[in-house]
Amino acid sequence: MVDSAAFLRHLAAQPAYSGQTTHVEHIPSRQASYAGLDKPLPGRLQDCLHKHGLPRFYTHQAQAINIARKGNNVMVATPTASGKTLCYNVPVLETLLGEPFSCALYLFPTKALAQDQLHGLSQLFHPDMLKMAEFATFDGDTPLSQRAEIRKRARIILTNPDMLHVGILPNHRQWSRLLHHLRYVIVDEAHTYRGVFGSHVACVLRRLRRLCELYGSHPQFICCSATLANPGEHAQRLTGLPFEVVADDGAPHGGKDFAFWNPPLIDIARSVRRSANSEAASLFAELVSRNIRTLAFARSRRLTELIYTYARQRLAEVDPALAEKIKPYRAGYLPEERRQIEHELFTGQLLGAVATTALELGIDIGDLGATVLTGYPGSIASTWQQAGRSGRGKEQSLSFLIGLDNPLDQYFMRHPEAFFGKSFENALINPENPYILRAHLLCAAWELPVSSIDDKFFGPALGQELAELQKQGIVKESSKRWYPLPAIAYPAQNVSIRSASGENFALINASNGSILETIEASVALFQIHPGAIYLHQGEPYLVTELNLDSRTARARPTEVSYYTQTMEITGLHVLNVMRQKSSGQTGVYLGDVEVTTTVVGFKKKAQFTEEVIGEEPLDLPPQHFPTVALWFDLPPGAVARIDREQLDFPGGLHAAEHAAIGILPMFALCDRNDIGGVSTPFHPDTGRAGIFIYDGYPGGIGIAEKGFDLIEQLWQTTLKAISECPCVEGCPSCVQSPKCGNNNQPLDKKAARVLLEGLLEE
């Protein structure tokens, strides 16, 4: 058990401590709450559960099982470590017992999670209820020699949406046994299916349902998720089916102390703070040195490696043996390397790991005493998922959230009640996004010709999007059925479901000619421009050449102590106003827009200190994409006051835009990088000054729409964030943006306050 109070006192006594602890939330332990099933389980299944120490069900487990047994779709949205797995394993195993040919498909967002759940199934139900041949993972790591046998015999297939999309659905005739007998589809970690990825997965699931109907099955869906504000709506949008929601957690939980830790100011006037990454390494090393098993989360692969390296150095100074008891964990490692680290964590060989969000999900790595979160993960749900990795049993645990230098992190540091008192966010997806839907309609037509009755799966836009595909010369119509043109071969392999575009650039290792990675086209100019530092499996490469015609870039290994960050200039053209409303004296709008982004240069930033050590220009072509934006006019009274007080009006617009973009993720389940903005004293399409905030993906995914609906709350919170920041002129914690192509010029913090105050006047 972790003595949180004693450890926090120990930190406060250290020479480097200068009041970093801004708040400690004491979350009490909670006893379990149990409930019975509406009718007893089959004796064989009940005996198996008893044998493994599971004689009773928590209230949410019993409720979910009862709903599933009635034939209804169920969404279970409860915190991490609440035993959601039984909510689907019990009804599935009961059905498999009673119907000898029935099958189930389990979907997990990662291969690692599928492997972990396979191990769990084996421990719980083999050999008493399942033979080894009856359950298996089927993904990119499955040996070719085993695939035919799995298709022939397995009754529970554990896979991921990527393999379902590119491997199973296009080859559905080989999977006819599974599809004909499919009774359950399990969608675990459903909260991860949001934004572009979630919109793609929603289309994949509609294709699955369509093929199931072809083979005569109508499977039930059981979805499991971390806590969301809209679990029922999200499950319905994801699958296209109605759901019953189970959200009252009956599982026991140990107590937790959750500390908010703000790096100390090193320049008060400019509000510059000590590096959050350095603070994370120090906290992690301190916890491990006191024998507290700890998981530290970083927001990127690069920072995972850096925090690990710093922590290892600090531990080596205390005790060289301790330095060997921590490891980094992230995507990019070989599967066997990741499995080895997971095993070492689970068995207690390691005292800690520094990880990306790859370990946020429910892979069982045993009991941990503490978690360290380097920066707000972007959503309340993800924060609790990461923090919940410690204290998974009934023991006391400790979590730290370290504030980064941005408006939202610093708002929470000053207002912890806004975090702990805030309800969870909405998960946003848009399966009707035309760019995503068209790609999956082509895949669907390749699997089985599409007809007008398929609108029950793909929605009312089906006819319009098929007409667009026909216009593009990709599909043809015959007898009211649409087919791909003969030249179209296996379209699924060209559709990346984890990005908005299926097109990729190849990054080539100039030292040996091998392909290092493929990079999605929409982000290529931001990641592999000439001069960029690109990290591959922790090793830095300097990009020396980018060829837009061949979609290739060349890079060579290098040793540098900086990373690169692009600077962009953005323009926006209004295509159509979809909705509008008045708020106080101001008009607020939501509409279709075209965004033009030009990468004009990049900054070199020192690792850990984040100091800008150089800037270089770039000459790259502009990128255009249609999306959805919200925008609003400026109140005349506020504009007059800015003129009267001789403040900088363009600087005020620019500062308010940056701050609002930084705060919007508080209201929508998105990342700061999922949205963009433009501010201008005069926009030719509106004839007025305005601030625009848009979705950063072609077609939009619902973020701007959520901002439009909650615009007053967005203004209020943005004003609070600016007003309370201690800096004088504006800083990264309030109005500066790390991506600003204009080098954060002009910015006027005081003018931004005046504008936001005017927007909130009745």
According to the model, what pLDDT value does residue 539 have?
75
Q: What is the rounded distance in angstroms from the CA atom of residue 631 to the CA atom of residue 238?
A: 28
Longest CA span, the chain? 81
Smallest CA-to-CA distance from 202 within 217, 223, 183, 184 is with 223
Q: CA triplet 82, 183, 106: central angle to 5 degrees? A: 45
What values do phi and psi take at 41, rounded to 5? -75, 160
What pLDDT, on a 0 to 100 scale, did the predictor assign at position 232? 96
Residue 218 scores a pLDDT above 90: yes
Give the pLDDT confidence score for residue 360 in this predicted structure: 64
The tokens describing 164, both together, are 């379902």
Say which amino acid occupies 493.
Answer: Q
User: Which of 94-98, 196-200, 262-266 is modeled with the greatest confidence?
Assistant: 94-98
Structure tokens at 136: 């298996």
Q: Walk me through the domains of the chain, giving residue ranges and CATH numbers.
A: 4-28+253-420 (3.40.50.300), 34-246 (3.40.50.300), 434-494 (1.10.10.10), 504-560 (no CATH), 565-759 (no CATH)
Instruction: Name the least confident of 175-179, 349-353, 404-408, 477-481.
Output: 404-408
Residue 145 has pLDDT above 70, yes or no: yes
Residue of 609 and 193 predicted with greater confidence: 193
Contact assessment for residue 372 and residue 342, using Cβ atoms and an 8 Å cutoff: no
pTM for the full predicted model: 0.84
Which segment of 56-70, 92-106, 393-407 scores lowest on mean pLDDT? 393-407
Note the pLDDT of residue 524: 87
Residues 138 and 163 sit within 8 Å (Cβ to Cβ): yes
Closest CA to 2 of 400, 401, 417: 400
Q: Which residues contact 273 (CB under 8 A, 6 or more apart)?
A: 262, 263, 264, 265, 266, 403, 405, 733
Closest CA relative to residue 652, chosen from 758, 727, 760: 758
Q: Position of tokens 């200068």? A: 18
Cα–Cα nearest to 709, from 552, 579, 599: 579
Q: What is the mean pLDDT of residues 611-625?
A: 92
Does residue 500 register a pLDDT over 90?
Answer: no
pLDDT at 463 (0 to 100):
95
- Alpha-carbon distance of 733 to 165, in angstroms, equals 41
pLDDT tens, position by position, 5-50: 999 999 999 998 999 999 999 999 999 999 999 999 999 999 999 9
What is the rounded distance in angstroms from the CA atom of residue 289 to the CA atom of residue 323? Answer: 9
**Residue of 344, 609, 339, 420 whose CA lies nearest to 26:** 420
Note the helical H segments in 272-319: 276-289, 301-318
Q: Report residue 67's pLDDT band, with 50, 70 and 90 as the boundaries.
A: very high
- Whether the upstream peptide bond of residue 746 has omega within 30° of 0, thus cis, is yes
Per-residue pLDDT at 597 exceeds 70: yes
Q: Measuring CA to CA, which residue among 340, 353, 282, 279 is closest to residue 609?
A: 279
Which range of 372-386, 686-700, 735-749 scores highest in mean pLDDT? It is: 686-700
Q: Which tokens in the block code for residue 571? A: 């323009």
| Distant-in-sequence, close-in-space partners of 66: CB < 8 Å, separation ≥ 6 | 37, 38
713 is written with which tokens? 């709350």
If one compares 434 and 271, the residue with the highest pLDDT of the two is 434
Half-sphere exposure (Cβ direction) of 253: Cα atoms closer than 13 Å: 21
8 Å CB contact between 205 and 240 = yes
Q: What is the mean pLDDT of the chain?
A: 91
Residue owning tokens 């919200």: 630
Phi, psi at residue 614, to the nearest 5°? Answer: 175, 160
Which of 271-275, 371-375, 758-762 is the least confident region? 271-275
Q: And the tokens for 390?
A: 């410690």
Q: Could you give the count of Cα atoms lying within 13 Å of 753 in the half-sphere of its Cβ?
A: 15
Contact status, residue 209 vs residue 366, Cβ threshold 8 Å: no
CA angle 400, 405, 406 (to 5 degrees): 105
Q: What band does 270 get if pLDDT is binned at 50, 70 and 90? A: confident
With contact defined as beta carbons under 8 Å apart, do 261 and 400 qualify? yes
Would you say residue 331 has pLDDT above 70?
no
| Adjacent-strand bridge partners of 616 | 602
pLDDT exceeds 70 at position 502: no
CB 57 within 8 A of CB 63: no
Sign of CA dihedral 139, 192, 670, 697: positive
Provide mean pLDDT across the span 335-343. Answer: 81
| SS3 at position 537 | coil
How far apart (Å, rounded) are the C-alpha atoms in residues 55 and 49? 6
Which residues are within 8 A (CB) of 551 and not within 5 positions of it... i.e. 6 or more apart?
503, 504, 505, 506, 521, 524
**pLDDT over 80 at 743, yes or no:** no
Q: Are 159 and 138 in contact (CB under 8 A)?
A: yes
How much is the CA Rg of the chain, to the nearest whole Å?
26
Q: What CA–CA distance (Å, rounded) separates 23 from 18?
A: 14
DSSP states along 555-590: EEE---SEEEEEEEEEEEEEEEEEEEEEETTEEEEE
Q: Read off the tokens for 251.
A: 């599982």
Q: Between the CA atoms of 738, 742, 744 and 748, what dihedral angle is there, to the nearest 10 degrees?
A: -150
Tokens of 386: 């990461």
Lowest mean pLDDT among 115-119, 377-381, 484-488, 737-741: 737-741
* Highest mean pLDDT of the ranges 10-19, 178-187, 247-256, 666-675: 178-187
pLDDT tens track for 552-575:
999 999 999 888 989 888 999 999
pLDDT on residue 741 = 67
Kindly give, in sequence order, each residue whose CB lies less than 8 Å from that of residue 187, ignoring residues fewer than 6 positions away.
Answer: 107, 193, 205, 221, 222, 223, 224, 235, 238, 239
Q: How far apart are CA 443 and CA 167, in angstroms?
A: 12
Share of the chain above pLDDT 70, in %: 96
Give the model's confidence band at 154: pLDDT under 50 very low, under 70 low, under 90 confident, else very high. very high
Q: What three-state secondary structure class fits 39?
A: coil
